[in-house]
Structure 1
């Protein structure tokens, strides 16, 4: 049960982090498009070369983030399988067992 709670907490943290990263990417894109509109053509040429390097860094960051997310998904799947194995060992399978009727 504690593992379920910790997994849910971890998933929520990852979702929160993903929303934050998406917001930052969106802000960066809109900021760069606003900046481009205000620049002259010579400034735009200089910015393009700088943005090219920034784009490579951003792509590396996104690739690294995707790799981390994939590793965390694999870890969550491994933990789920481990929990299922533990729950099967605690409860013996029996199709003839009937539970008592609940009354309120």
Structure 2
């Protein structure tokens, strides 16, 4: 699958919208900051993380390997964006979007 270039702001907005539509309800949705812990805010549980990974892989054409499924990579919108951007950049430079880093 070809990687599609995404601006960091757009990528964060897409992740935030996904979280809002699938996990947040009411007034909490607009208040979720880029650096806030999705675990600490009780936005995602273990099943939610798997759903998030499936969304990221499908939407952005990347493969997230098991060792990459850590809170450091997936616990905040900012870290999610960094992970996906790194994978997309690797694909843009001739690497594969699904290659483990």
Q: TM-score, normalised by structure 2?
A: 0.31
* Higher-Rg member (1/2): 1
